[in-house]
Homo-oligomer: A and B are copies of this chain.
Amino acid sequence: MQSNNSFQSFSTLKGEFLPTIYPFSSEEKISEALLKANEAVIPYGKTSFVQRADFLETIAQNILALGEDLLMQAHLETALPIARLTGERDRTINQLKLFASLLREGSWVDAVIDTALPDRKPLPRADIRRMLQPIGPVLVFGASNFPFAYSTAGVDTASALAAGCPVIVKAHESHLGTNEMVASAIKQAIDQTKMPLGTFDTLIGEGPVLGQQLATNELIKAIGFTGSYKAGMALYTTATQKRKTPIPVYAEMSSINPIVLLPKTLEEKVEQIATTLSASILLGVGQFCTSPGLIFVIESEAANRLKELLAHHLKTANSAVMLNQTISKAYYTDQKKLIGYDGVTIIIQGQDESSLYKATPTLLSVNAAHFITEPLLQKEVFGPCSMIVVCKDQSELNNAIMHMHGQLTGSFFGNTEELEEYNHAIDLLQQRVGRIVFNNVPTGVEVCNAMVHGGPFPSTTDGRTTSVGPEAIKRFVRPVCYQDCPDDLLPVYLRNKNEAGINRNINGVITNVSIK
């Protein structure tokens, strides 16, 4: 609930308001957070990687020390089950530790050294050294669907802090208690590891108002966001057009994660596929950015059988409580819009349970010809809703994929022969996604070195990056090069003596030796 100057969280789980009232951050508090963050830029940017690793690990410890209280607070605020929240909390801690170990190893900084060639003809070459440096204060928006992993101390915060950037978190209004607890864990770590005061802060206010106020402030140098297309694009427009200096925005916004079921495999494994797919659609009440919202099939008996089986699985699933009132209401509104388009057939449609903040699954079907001509059929419905797109043949499938917007993921189910046969469809899908999955569903994002969680627009505003895995740190840095800089004045990672023992590119050779 929002008054003129405060929030009170509504628990969809309990069907009532939680007791605590969170006042909006005052103008003084907002200015102070920005100024302190700016003051922290140079001292925090100059901390060693080991110091930053200690800091991140201390944050992780402090979050763990919050124990059951933190889990229960998040449970009440998001209606997510305790088991899921425990897993997410642990993932968040592991992410912090992952960036800490990246820092301890140190080679991520991409140190490149070309030593001087004073005798080169016709002109000598200067000594030139480059490494990645922090971009400046980062504004992070907490996400409704991941109160830990994509919020206050989530991957945007962790990667920005690892990069050496101060962070200001705009707290998500639906889990302000969780935010407060996690923020206190971070602030305690600042104190324990003697980081500059302005290294982290969190602010509370109406999304569109406070968000825009912070995004237009010239002291902010980059934005990390996970949420709706509308809010993400508002930030993108602000960051690129409404500031004196445009800044990068990493907004993860909207993805319906197409799954292509090739005919022979579908015929052979229709029961297994239906089970796997329906579980993926239902996972987390469909409130995942990788939830499969599109299923491509080629017209066949097996395709009809798939519809029946999916309908059966989804119909027999219990309706489940969604994250908050806004999301549960939008689920039914957006679904109704989708159903209204030409050619859309309802296979199953649950009862509107938005008054109970619950979602019941929906399964729709449409012919590829309609899908191709109506781009609005690709609008994400956040929740357990999926649409089967029926293609006449391989050529229509290719055409449908060519009309598909950018996605986080795309999946193919097929045996080796079929995948060879549909090679062009795979090439076309690869152009449009960040991750391409074979014989599995896209839900379940592994946190590992090779992961890409990102993709072409509109799945994100910057498909050149990932928001999961160590590579996420690259979003908050830029290369700086030093020409003929005295050794003492160089950042420690570029000095002759390779104190940190990191891998560096010296005159074209990767090595961890010092320069004599």
Residue ranges of A at the interface with B (Cβ–Cβ < 8 Å): 41-42, 46, 112-114, 123, 125-126, 128-130, 133, 135-136, 236-237, 240-241, 245-246, 248, 405-406, 416, 419-420, 423-424, 426-428, 430-431, 433-440, 444, 446, 448-452, 454, 456-458, 461-466, 471, 477-486, 488-489, 503, 505, 507-508, 510
A484 contacts B128, C-beta separation under 8 Å: no
CB distance from A81 to the nearest CB of B (A): 16
- B residues within 8 A CB of A452? 130, 479-481
Q: A241-B237, A489-B419 are in contact. Are A464 and B481 (CB under 8 A)?
A: no
Partner of A129, one of B130, B431, B450: B450
B248 contacts A451, C-beta separation under 8 Å: no
A423 contacts B489, C-beta separation under 8 Å: yes
Partner of A508, one of B46, B426, B449: B449
B245 contacts A451, C-beta separation under 8 Å: no
A449 contacts B479, C-beta separation under 8 Å: no
Q: A42-B427, A438-B486 are in contact. Are A457 and B419 (CB under 8 A)?
A: no
Partner of A464, one of B41, B248, B450: B248
What's the Cα separation between A466 and B477 when bound, in Å?
Answer: 13
What's the Cα separation between A452 and B435 when bound, in Å?
Answer: 30
> Which single residue of chain B is at the shortest CB-CB distance from A439?
B484
- B residues within 8 A CB of A240? 236, 240-241, 246
> Which single residue of chain B is at the shortest CB-CB distance from A110?
B471
Partner of A434, one of B129, B237, B480: B480
- 9 further A-B pairs in the complex, CB-CB below 8 A; given A113-B450, A449-B508, A464-B479: A114-B451, A125-B446, A240-B246, A245-B456, A430-B480, A450-B481, A454-B479, A464-B477, A466-B479
CB distance from A116 to the nearest CB of B (A): 10
What are 28 A-B pairs at a CB distance below 8 A?
A42-B424, A42-B427, A113-B450, A114-B446, A125-B448, A126-B440, A128-B448, A129-B450, A241-B241, A245-B456, A245-B457, A248-B462, A248-B464, A416-B488, A436-B480, A436-B481, A437-B484, A438-B483, A438-B485, A449-B505, A449-B507, A450-B481, A450-B505, A452-B479, A452-B481, A454-B478, A456-B478, A464-B478
B444 contacts A482, C-beta separation under 8 Å: no
For the complex of A and B, the 9 pairs showing the least CB-CB separation, nearest first, are A452-B481, A240-B240, A128-B450, A112-B450, A437-B483, A130-B450, A245-B457, A114-B450, A114-B448
Most buried by B among A424, A438, A458: A438
- B residues within 8 A CB of A477? 464
A435 contacts B483, C-beta separation under 8 Å: yes
What's the Cα separation between A471 and B428 when bound, in Å?
Answer: 27
Partner of A123, one of B41, B444, B480, B483: B444
A431 contacts B136, C-beta separation under 8 Å: yes
- B residues within 8 A CB of A46? 427
B440 contacts A114, C-beta separation under 8 Å: no
CB distance from A418 to the nearest CB of B (A): 11
What's the Cα separation between A454 and B480 when bound, in Å?
Answer: 9
Q: A245-B458, A446-B125, A449-B508 are in contact. Are A481 and B434 (CB under 8 A)?
A: yes
- B residues within 8 A CB of A464? 135, 248, 477-479
CB distance from A432 to the nearest CB of B (A): 10
Most buried by B among A133, A466, A478: A478
Q: A245-B457, A446-B128, A508-B449 are in contact. Are A133 and B430 (CB under 8 A)?
A: yes
A246 contacts B486, C-beta separation under 8 Å: no
> Which single residue of chain B is at the shortest CB-CB distance from A111?
B450
CB distance from A57 to the nearest CB of B (A): 19
What's the Cα separation between A439 and B127 when bound, in Å?
Answer: 12
Partner of A463, one of B436, B478, B510: B478
- B residues within 8 A CB of A480? 430, 433-436, 452
Q: A130-B450, A448-B125 are in contact. Are A426 and B479 (CB under 8 A)?
A: no
- B residues within 8 A CB of A431? 41-42, 136
What's the Cα separation between A152 and B458 when bound, in Å?
Answer: 32
Q: A240-B241, A450-B130 are in contact. Are A246 and B482 (CB under 8 A)?
A: no
- B residues within 8 A CB of A428? 42
What's the Cα separation between A435 and B127 when bound, in Å?
Answer: 12
> Which single residue of chain B is at the shortest CB-CB distance from A454?
B479
Most buried by B among A464, A489, A503: A464
What's the Cα separation between A46 and B405 when bound, in Å?
Answer: 22
CB distance from A387 to the nearest CB of B (A): 21
- B residues within 8 A CB of A505? 449-450
CB distance from A382 to the nearest CB of B (A): 21
What's the Cα separation between A463 and B247 when bound, in Å?
Answer: 9
- B residues within 8 A CB of A136? 431
